[in-house]
Amino acid sequence: MFCFVFLIGVPINTMNSTANLTYYPNTSSGYLCKFREDFKYILLPVSYTLVFVIGLALNAIALYLIIYRTKHWKPSTIYMLNLTVCDTLYIFTLPFLIYYYADENDWPFSEPFCKIIRFLFYTNLYGSILFLCCISLHRFIGICHPLRSLNWVSPRRAKLVSVAIWTCVLLCQAPILYFSRIRVCFDTTSSELFDDFLVYSSVVSVFMFVLPFMVVMVCYGLMVKKLLEPGWASEVRSGAQSRGLGTQQYKQKSVKMIIIVLAAFMLCFLPFHLTRSLYYSFRYLQQINPVSCSLLEASSVAYKVTRPLASANSCIDPILYFLAGQALMAPPAVGGSTEGRSKGKHSRNSRATSRGTRLKIPQFIAFKEYL
């Protein structure tokens, strides 16, 4: 239940949080917006607990399968391992946030630990986005450009890309260690640093969310177009039929994986970034133009509601691995019949057939690497 209290003539220059009340200054009118946020002391502990239990179980299973059951380390496997590690590190921070919000913003731990918790949250957030972007690009190259992909991608290059991503994310999120403050362990920063934080957060959002999101949308749009082409089906039909598998099955698995990644962006990342941008904008505009208390409260509530959605990506990411693992367990055969291969190898009279077979073989190899 929310309540508004307007105090006249109170000179407030900062935002304060006491018990269940949150205060926001309205400098244009000299009034003080004050409303309760009791809902978050129920919503956040409950949602974070669900994410912790479900996410820990799913990511633990995924880590076990990747580390102990993977026989051939492919680029997609390397990206999935890094994505799972990223999610697991964040999940281990949730018990402290659960206690923090259940105790109504009372942070009993040290200031460095508060900084680490907030740092890991944003590291997981943008690390997941970038690794999902890599997985999407990897799959796009394999399906839309299967021949070229054999020279473009390799496990070694995937490792180098993963190191680059971790380095980029850690460096870009390092300022969080400065902005996080101990008083109530802000999920943003203190009011005196908010203007600087707004600039920093906006730049990070553009380069680590908006751009990767656009890349993912373009990649999956082109992938869907490719999967719907009749020529694509003819390229994989012989291999699929030789293993008793239909082309339609591979299409369905590809579409399912596209849906999962898009769901992670649409349900977890996009609402969080949109509501956070609105909330930050309204807080900043308070210093320049009048902003009604009801509008400020609505943006604050929306932002806090979407924070658990951002955390839920830790539960969605392992599903992507399980689905990809099923697809890779039964890849199509890398060629036609034995007789066809023999002809292509020993008969000069079938050069045209052999050339077609040689073109299809790398397409099969590339295709099975990405589905």
| CATH code of residue 331 | 1.20.1070.10
Task: Quote the distance between the C-alpha of residue 39 and its chain's center.
Answer: 26
Whole-number Å distance between alpha carbons of 164 and 151: 20
- Distance CA(158)–CA(261), nearest Å, equals 19
Does some domain include residue 21?
no
Instruction: Give me 261's structure tokens.
Output: 């990644």
Picking from 366, 359, 321, the residue whose alpha carbon sits closest to that of residue 340 is 359
Residue 83 belongs to a domain: yes
State the angle between helix axes of 155-173 and 75-91 in degrees (0 to 180), rounded to the nearest 10: 30
| Assigned domain for 20 exists | no
Tell me, what DSSP letter sits at residue 19? T
Domain-located, residue 11:
no
Q: How many domains does the chain have?
A: 1
Determine which helix (DSSP H) or strand (DSSP E) holds 24, and give its type and residue range: strand 21-26
Say what the pTM is: 0.78
Instruction: State the Cα–Cα distance between residues 319 and 314, nearest whole angstrom.
Output: 10
CA 123, CA 46: separation in Å to the nearest integer? 22
User: What is the chain's Cα-based Rg?
Assistant: 25
Structure tokens at 271: 């609402």
24 in any annotated domain:
no
Report the sign of the C-alpha dihedral through residues 40, 210, 87, 252, in that order. Answer: positive
Single-letter residue type at 20: N
Query: Residue 18 domain-assigned?
Result: no
- 38 and 303 Cβ atoms separated by less than 8 Å: no
Does the residue 113 lie in any domain?
yes
20 within 8 A of 5, measured Cβ to Cβ: no
Q: 292 is in which domain, residue-wise?
A: 41-370
Query: Average pLDDT by consecutive 10-residue portion of the chain (371 residues)?
Result: 34 41 46 73 94 95 90 88 93 92 86 87 91 90 76 86 96 89 71 87 94 93 84 54 54 78 90 93 81 84 92 90 58 42 44 45 49 48
Nearest Cα neighbor of 361 from 124, 146, 71 is 146
Residue 16 domain-assigned? no
Query: CB under 8 Å to 68, separation ≥6 — which residues?
Result: none
Measured in degrees and rounded to the nearest 5, phi and psi for residue 100 equal -60, -50
The predicted pLDDT at position 323 comes to 76
| CB < 8 Å & 24+ apart, contacts of 318-321 | 318/55, 318/58, 318/59, 318/61, 318/62, 318/84, 318/87, 319/58, 319/260, 320/80, 320/83, 320/132, 320/135, 320/257, 320/260, 320/261, 320/264, 321/62, 321/65, 321/66, 321/80, 321/83, 321/84
How far apart are the C-alpha atoms of 221 and 129, rounded to whole Å?
Answer: 18
Spell out the alpha helix ranges (H) of the chain: 40-69, 75-91, 94-102, 111-144, 146-152, 155-173, 176-179, 194-205, 211-227, 230-242, 247-263, 270-285, 293-311, 313-329, 338-346, 351-370
Euclidean distance between CA atoms 66 and 77, whole angstroms = 7
Q: CB of 277 within 8 A of CB of 347? A: no
Q: What's the rounded Cα separation, in Å, for the pair 354 and 361? A: 10
Residue 88 to residue 92: CA distance in whole angstroms: 6
